[in-house]
Amino acid sequence: MQQLTNEQLDNLARDLDAIRDEVMADVGERDARYIRRVIRTHRALEIGGRAMLPFGFLPPLFIAGTASLGIAKILENMEIGHNVMHGQYDWMNDPSLHSQTYEWDTVCTGDSWRYTHNYEHHTYTNVIGKDRDYGYAVLRLSDDVKWHPGHLLQFINFTLLSVFFQWGVGLHELETERMRRGEIKLSDKREVLRDLMRKGGRQAFKDYVFFPLLTFPVAPIVLAGNIGANLIRNLWASNVIFLGHFTEDAETFSEDMLEGESRGQWYLRQLTGSSNFTGNKWMHILSGHLSHQIEHHVFPDMPAHRYREIAPRVQKICEKYGLHYNSASFASQYKTVLRKVFHYSLPDRIRTRLQAA
């Protein structure tokens, strides 16, 4: 990990706090208008998608309907749900946009997400053993986890996690890896399980039962469209999230670093544990601005569309302290993620030889 003196860390915290204070003092009508516009777009896409799919026996309408519903789910999960639940819009005092009560269009319950993501992941970012989002307990992405032959097949896990991402995230708080190790029992997680069944049931009922049956004669077409829409969202969301922390240059940390961690050290961990990808305006919006994962991790409750505006200043601060600002195109970041998943599926001896080559 990149080392800074205590004085540098204090200055780093002061520089970043200055950006935060400046932006937060300016937050207001523009941000409210922005998120309302995104929500309107989401409603239009969802209503449009669901209205088109019953006519999906015409191939163009099937494609348009599925895409429209898929993009609606992406917008709702990434730019609305994720960001609202971070408290980015709590200042608006609008009960439909309140971080602690928002419920989103995916299997994972809002409460479970607020705990595993907002608290665990954002507080203990990339701390192996504390941040369960690092590898989602199904991927080996660092040599802190001891290799065993099962890891050879982790590309299968990687693919399954992408395809069924909403269910993976939903199951996350169950901590099945700890159950396997016998540290906890299923009965310890009774409430989590109950909420998961309720929310998972609700999502499955809506997309796989209710809307297909509503349009009975064409039910299979609507069902296929809904499955397609969920798949589009799963693939996109999972990959955006993998790109945020699983890239090769994103650093990991050990638990002892948390002891007495200063604000400057916390900032440093967020800056060096996250990675950005570049793209056009729509790439940013559809990723919920997690394309600016670095900015998101230093300022998780700042309205996300502001990340694009402050990114050059955050990059300058990184340069000032000699920190690596990890940013590249989607494709090249994705390549490093795949390489990492592949490398760590191998025994350490072979991996180190490969990496050295």
CB crowding 329-340: b at 16 or more within 10 Å, else e: ebeebbebbeeb
- Name the residues that contact another protein, by CB under 8 A: 17, 20-21, 24, 27-33, 36, 39-40, 43-44, 47, 85-87, 90-96, 98-101, 103-105, 114-115, 118-119, 122-123, 202, 205-206, 210, 263, 266, 300-301
- C-beta of 142: minimal distance to another protein in Å? 23
Q: Which residues contact 185 (CB under 8 A, 6 or more apart)?
A: 179
- C-beta of 22: minimal distance to another protein in Å? 11
Q: Packing angle between helix 154-163 and helix 219-245, nearest 10 degrees? A: 120
Taking the least distance from each CB to another protein, the nearer of 55 and 266 is: 266
Taking the least distance from each CB to another protein, the nearer of 198 and 353 is: 198
Taking the least distance from each CB to another protein, the nearer of 2 and 100 is: 100
- C-beta of 74: minimal distance to another protein in Å? 16
CA distance 274 to 286: 18
CA distance 136 to 126: 11
- C-beta of 353: minimal distance to another protein in Å? 41
Taking the least distance from each CB to another protein, the nearer of 122 and 339 is: 122
Taking the least distance from each CB to another protein, the nearer of 238 and 265 is: 265
226: left (phi over 0), alpha (psi -120 to 50) or beta: alpha
Helix (H/G/I), strand (E/B), else coil: 93: coil
Q: Which of 286, 307, 289, 309 is nearest to 298 (CA)?
A: 307
Taking the least distance from each CB to another protein, the nearer of 57 and 205 is: 205
- C-beta of 200: minimal distance to another protein in Å? 12
- C-beta of 84: minimal distance to another protein in Å? 10
